[in-house]
Structure 1
Amino acid sequence: MKHNYILLLLLFFSSSIYSQNIPVLTPIQLKQDIDSLVKYLDETHINPYYRYPKQLFQQDVIALKKRITKDLNILDFYVRIQPLLGKLEDGHTDLYAPEDSYNILDLFRLPYHFKLNVTAPFITCEKPFRGFNAEIPAGAEIITINAIPAKQIVDDIVALNTGESRSFRAEYGAQKFNFYLGVLYKMNGNYTIRYKHNNQLQTIFIQGARSKQITDKFNESADTTSSADATPLPCDSYYLQIIDSIAIIDFKSFSWNCFKRFSDSAFTVIKKAGIKDLVLNLIDNGGGDSDVGDAFFQYILDKPFTQYDKVVEKNSRLLKARLNKHLLSRKADASDSALLAKPNGSIDTVHYSTIAIEDNPLRFKGSVYLLINGQTYSSAADFAQCFKHYKRGLIIGEETGGLIKSYGDIVSTQLPNSKLRLIISSKLYYNIGATDEDWKGVVPDITATKDKALSVALKTIRDNRKVAR
């Protein structure tokens, strides 16, 4: 009884902490936000109910509004409204998690990285945060956290993420694991972990760490060494290393930030070194600007190409608002004026032309290997499909989370009272080679988990070299 009494006290104080300094809204305001979300969705998205029937969605909306009978802060409101969008299974239609509001509380965090999966083992410990002792061994299967089963935790986190597959949503949710432990279960600083390792069940109590502790430990233990066979180039989104005369380019995102400088530098190094094998690593690349992909293909393709076959787009008030915002810094051209003149709700189909190959003395003509996984998404998945369609090389890893026929080109707005940021897909993209039935990702030529994909690529290259001798 004493243990239960202490636990109730902890939950009480934790709950009261979560209610401090966070905006609170009345039921009327909350229901207005729900109605606004539905309105924005119907006005802007081509077909938000392509996987989840509209009738069921409307029933869910009615049921949610009935359950809202008291004031809620925006964290608790987010937990209730976000599953509506999760059911639509469109990764580009989403409410941004209110992490800024959560971080204001400066709560404790469980200082470990975890992998989430929709099948057993549901939660696996990867490693502690940098500078913290590994009290839970790497690879341990988490059975419960504060008596909550791992499967329930993963299911709850999946419900609070959007995306075309449950596995993608679980992996993506792992990036905000502590946020979800906080908003879902009000965990704050005291974690009783039951885990299994080497077929042995263990229970351990872990005291959480505040953000400042994590930052300080991170700085104290920062790794300043570099590999002797690596050739780092000064760019946040891209990195080149050379192993055994094999060039490996890691893409963290499709960003224009120093892209041209990096690409020219990297392919200059590759050309001078006489490298014949190149690995492009898109594992965990969530995408970015697809024009970056077009620019990169100029370094590895030698014939005209396009990443997209066609795009179906819906004209809407929010799409025009986005354009008008951009026009504050430039003059409208003919296409801008044409879009602004189109009736809201009208739909257009645009077919893409191929992109001409430019003169490029740094063009790579050797063998290329592409690494992908379930977190290869959006523009990164589009790149992978183009790579596959034009048969540029071997693809290794897992099926991409991003589909080859998918919704995208987000427009954004805010819910009027909670100010939660809402993004909505405005277009339906058909990647090159995609058909009406292709609601699927890019399938690799060789299957490998994300932690093994690079090793498989390197072994494949070395085996091919032996055969060629």
Structure 2
Amino acid sequence: MPRIPCIVTLLFVCPVVKAQQKYSPQQVAHVLGDVADALDKFHPGAYRYQSKNDFAAYVDSVKGTIKDSATQVEMYRKIKPLVSRVGCLHTDFSMTEKYKQELNRSPNLLPLRLYFKDDKAWITDNFSNHPLISPGDEITTINGRSIGEILRQVLPAIPSDGYNQTMKYLALYRQFPLWYRHMVEVTEHFDITTISGGQPRSVRLKGMMEKDLAGNGFLSEPVFARQLELKIKDATAYLTIRSFADSYIKRSGQSFKPFMEEAFKELQNKGVKNLVIDLRDNTGGSDGNAAYLSGFFFDAPYRYWKRVTCTPAIAAKIKGVAKIWWRKPVQQDSLWLWQKGKRSGEFDYVDEQQPAAHPFAGKVYVLINGFCMSSCADLSAVLYSNRKGLFIGEETGGGYQGNNSGMMPGIHLKPSKMMLTVPLQKYETAVDTARFFGRGTMPDVPVELSLNDILQKRDRVMEVTDSLIAGNSNVAQRR
């Protein structure tokens, strides 16, 4: 979903306060209270997956743990799980850039990449060059903490839509050293125990700095020469869409709609019978691009979104200058519905959508995983609900019934300057409201990322897909 920075100045006045290194218990409680109040007042999906009473009880339980003064990272560890409890991957609570820069000035990141499964972890990459550590070794403790204990501290802080876990575990694979530092401890030494060849080992590792550890797709966003790719082999086409974000697509010298127009013309001209759409790791972007793509799979009018709503407090703020861009939301029973904008097309997809002039008529296979988020997850849900393809891989990280996103202002919190990001729009996709509630789009053919696949650099999801197309696969399917 797109961010619209100007809404920050239109809807909120963000105070500028002097940063502090330590905060009293009263100040920490004040920040916690402001976070809870902002979520209750402005977040349209704060109670999408939890009751108001349950959330209030959780807030009170966190307040009860505030006994001593705290640094920013200590405050973060108390409040971040509360924010993630909302079940919204677009809602964020972050430390100040200045404080994060201070953390990054020392070598305090674990120099390993880990794959997690349940309460276990295995090393896939060793950046320490320590001779007693090898990819495939199981790691059992870090600084005296078991993997299960660490996960119980870290997983509740990682945001995802609803009750989804695939996104959380994929985030651990790609970002664990940062999550460990932020949620467990800041340290420059790591005493780890491993199991290698059935034998336990104890090793001390020195931490690394983020600038030395981050690589393409590990602790940083992956970089691609092209965001959109089409390859045709015999009667099968492979369409890879790494992002729906116009900024990323333009950066790679491409334009979404012209690319898709040409791509589907080529599919038709070459008589392609099977189309594989690879949406894995597509974290979203423009709703217009995702909705536009959906039209190539329908031959009759269809619904994309059911509605888009906001809280009464946000509806009341659409006045004055703000009305240049947005129409005031209208009340329908207990809901406040966003209307089509005056200068913005972001709510256009609530209307009935029209199919493309020449929709694809062959078989469609959609590859998904836990990093299919936001508009990518919306598209997946709409195609799945209308049986427009066979879905292969893992549950999407974005919710099946929709998400909370759109305009996402940042609220600076006194006296810390830490920031709470609150989405102002609740999107509901035009799908069954009971199916997969609190989950993402589920695959028809589940193919889980495994340790062996990573170590062997094997794309088993694509292998299974090719076998299904060839008609020689016995893989069980569900629908």
Q: TM-score range by the shorter chain?
A: 0.7 to 0.9
Are 2:274 and 2:363, in contact at CA under 8 Å, matched by a contact in 1? Answer: yes
1:455 maps onto 2:458 in alignment: no
Secondary structure class of the residue paired with 1:113? strand
Corresponding residue number in structure 1 for 2:324: 332
Corresponding residue number in structure 2 for 1:408: 404
Corresponding residue number in structure 2 for 1:13: none
Following TM superposition, by how much is the alpha carbon of 1:403 offset from its aligned partner in structure 2, in angstroms?
Answer: 2.3
How far apart, in 1, do the equivalents of 2:434 and 2:188 lie? 49
2:313 to 313, 316, 323: 316
Secondary structure class of the residue paired with 1:25? coil
**Larger deviation: 89-98 or 378-387?**
89-98
Counting only pairs closer than 5 Å after superposition, residues 17-96 of structure 1 correspond to structure 2 as 23-46=21-44, 48-96=46-94
Distance 1:420 1:406, change over 3 A: farther
1:281 to 278, 283, 308: 278
Distance 1:202 1:265, change over 3 A: farther
Corresponding residue number in structure 2 for 1:435: 433
- Deviation by residue 1:21-80 (Cα, 9 ceiling, x = unmatched): 974334343322222112211212345244444334334333433443443222221111
Corresponding residue number in structure 2 for 1:348: 337
Corresponding residue number in structure 1 for 2:191: 192
Corresponding residue number in structure 1 for 2:6: none
Are 2:300 and 2:354, in contact at CA under 8 Å, matched by a contact in 1? Answer: yes
Distance 1:278 1:103, change over 3 A: farther
- Deviation by residue 1:149-195 (Cα, 9 ceiling, x = unmatched): 11111111112122222623343344332222223343433222222
How far apart, in 2, do the equivalents of 1:125 and 1:245 lie? 40
Distance 1:28 1:355, change over 3 A: same
Corresponding residue number in structure 2 for 1:7: none
Amino acid at match of 1:180: W
Corresponding residue number in structure 1 for 2:10: none
Amino acid at match of 2:404: G
1:383 maps onto 2:379 in alignment: yes
1:249 maps onto 2:242 in alignment: no
Corresponding residue number in structure 2 for 1:102: 100
Corresponding residue number in structure 1 for 2:364: 368
Corresponding residue number in structure 2 for 1:393: 389
Counting only pairs closer than 5 Å after superposition, residues 266-305 of structure 1 correspond to structure 2 as 266-267=263-264, 270=267, 275-305=272-302
How far apart, in 2, do the equivalents of 1:190 and 1:282 lie? 38
* Structure 2 residues without counterparts, runs of 5 or longer: 1-18, 217-222, 251-255, 340-348, 450-458, 474-479
Structure 2-normalised TM-score? 0.74
Are 1:307 and 1:385, in contact at CA under 8 Å, matched by a contact in 2? Answer: no
Are 2:20 and 2:416, in contact at CA under 8 Å, matched by a contact in 1? Answer: no
Amino acid at match of 1:210: M
Amino acid at match of 2:419: R
Secondary structure class of the residue paired with 1:209? coil
Are 1:141 and 1:195, in contact at CA under 8 Å, matched by a contact in 2? Answer: yes
Higher helix share: 1
How far apart, in 1, do the equivalents of 2:372 and 2:55 lie? 28
Secondary structure class of the residue paired with 1:338? coil
Corresponding residue number in structure 2 for 1:143: 140
Larger Rg belongs to: 1
Distance 1:303 1:51, change over 3 A: closer
How far apart, in 2, do the equivalents of 1:270 and 1:248 lie? 10
Corresponding residue number in structure 2 for 1:18: none
Amino acid at match of 1:347: W
Are 1:283 and 1:371, in contact at CA under 8 Å, matched by a contact in 2? Answer: yes
Secondary structure class of the residue paired with 1:37? helix
Secondary structure class of the residue paired with 1:88? coil
Following TM superposition, by how much is the alpha carbon of 1:209 offset from its aligned partner in structure 2, in angstroms?
Answer: 2.5
How far apart, in 2, do the equivalents of 1:445 and 1:355 lie? 25
How far apart, in 1, do the equivalents of 2:389 and 2:435 lie? 25
Distance 1:107 1:387, change over 3 A: same
Amino acid at match of 1:398: E
Corresponding residue number in structure 2 for 1:16: none
How far apart, in 2, do the equivalents of 1:156 and 1:264 lie? 47
Corresponding residue number in structure 2 for 1:116: 116
Following TM superposition, by how much is the alpha carbon of 1:371 offset from its aligned partner in structure 2, in angstroms?
Answer: 0.9
Secondary structure class of the residue paired with 1:48? coil
- Deviation by residue 1:183-216 (Cα, 9 ceiling, x = unmatched): 334343322222234544333333332244346x
Following TM superposition, by how much is the alpha carbon of 1:342 offset from its aligned partner in structure 2, in angstroms?
Answer: 7.4
Q: Which has the higher contact order (CA 8 A, sep 6+)?
A: 2
Secondary structure class of the residue paired with 2:275? strand
How far apart, in 1, do the equivalents of 2:230 and 2:111 lie? 30
Counting only pairs closer than 5 Å after superposition, residues 251-266 of structure 1 correspond to structure 2 as 251-256=241-246, 257-258=249-250, 259-260=256-257, 262-264=259-261, 266=263
Amino acid at match of 2:111: P
Are 2:45 and 2:426, in contact at CA under 8 Å, matched by a contact in 1? Answer: no
Amino acid at match of 2:445: I
Amino acid at match of 2:82: L
How far apart, in 2, do the equivalents of 1:134 and 1:324 lie? 65
How far apart, in 2, do the equivalents of 1:386 and 1:132 lie? 46
* Structure 1 residues without counterparts, runs of 5 or longer: 1-20, 219-231
Following TM superposition, by how much is the alpha carbon of 1:369 offset from its aligned partner in structure 2, in angstroms?
Answer: 0.6
**Larger deviation: 42-51 or 291-300?**
42-51
How far apart, in 2, do the equivalents of 1:268 and 1:406 lie? 31
How far apart, in 2, do the equivalents of 1:392 and 1:346 lie? 31
Are 2:164 and 2:440, in contact at CA under 8 Å, matched by a contact in 1? Answer: no
Are 2:92 and 2:420, in contact at CA under 8 Å, matched by a contact in 1? Answer: yes
Following TM superposition, by how much is the alpha carbon of 1:271 offset from its aligned partner in structure 2, in angstroms?
Answer: 5.7
Are 2:122 and 2:137, in contact at CA under 8 Å, matched by a contact in 1? Answer: yes
Secondary structure class of the residue paired with 2:29? helix
Structure 1-normalised TM-score? 0.75
How far apart, in 2, do the equivalents of 1:128 and 1:247 lie? 37
How far apart, in 1, do the equivalents of 2:233 and 2:143 lie? 44
Secondary structure class of the residue paired with 2:307? strand
Following TM superposition, by how much is the alpha carbon of 1:442 offset from its aligned partner in structure 2, in angstroms?
Answer: 1.6
Are 1:233 and 1:240, in contact at CA under 8 Å, matched by a contact in 2? Answer: no
Amino acid at match of 1:75: V
Following TM superposition, by how much is the alpha carbon of 1:408 offset from its aligned partner in structure 2, in angstroms?
Answer: 0.9
